[in-house]
Amino acid sequence: MRQICLDTETTGLNPRDGHRIIEVACIELVNRRLTGHHLHKYVHPERDIDAGAQAVHGITLEFLADKPKFADIADEFLEFINGAQLIIHNAPFDLGFLNAELDRLGRVPVETVCSGVIDTLKDAKALHPGKRNSLDALCERYDIDNSGRTLHGALLDTELLAEVYLAMTRGQNALMIEPDEAPRVMLGADGKVRERKPLQILRASAEEITEHERMLAAIDKESKGACVWLAAATTESVTQSPV
């Protein structure tokens, strides 16, 4: 499966207010492994950058003065994501901006080019209800080093997002989980949230226990009293016996 972790930086919060993309980054995963293949572009927005947005990402209009316009990178971008499943943290935000840029050019929306979209923010909220689920919070929760993230940057954020996504979908990280703390939902490798079924406990029948003890006795006889499993079973029986 080919997947693309994607992130953008923008001049403001809402494309309906005329805000534009100033950075777009995509990194490729194939069968859940980073390939090293990526697309990263700074884009001249053809408008000013809001002070609040600049404080978040640190990108200035002066820096973007010689950068291409979105129209100049649209074909390369669409070709890179073509047929891939997109992984985006807070997907409506990025898709809203990307589709606004494409609409200006008379191009088709992102969703018609890619094979699907996974929103890791939505999935994280399902997995960790009532908790902080920002990218920084998820990095902390999954022990991912984000010390280099002093400002938002699309390329660094996609790299962190890839690690977060793989951690969220790899399954149980710890060997033991207390029943009261076990999550009631789980995230599959396909990015879909499913209800976690309760663990089924199967106990040995009386006949199975008798057969097990017979086998241990035979092993103990053959090994001339060196059956460690029989010794362990005897110790456990004594420990659990009422005084």
Residues that are catalytic: 152
Q: What are the strands of the beta sheet with 33-42, ordered from one edge?
A: 33-42, 21-30, 2-10, 85-88, 116-119
Q: Which residues of 137-154 are buried (b: 16+ CB within 10 A; e: fewer)?
A: ebbebeebebeeeeebbb
Strand partners, 8: 24
* Continuous segment of H or E residues that includes residue 165: helix 154-169
Rounded Cα distance, 221 and 137, in Å: 58
Rounded Cα distance, 90 and 54, in Å: 19
Q: Which tokens in the block code for residue 78?
A: 């669409």
Rounded Cα distance, 15 and 95, in Å: 10
Given a contact cutoff of 8 angstroms between Cβ atoms, the answer to whether 120 and 168 are in contact is: yes
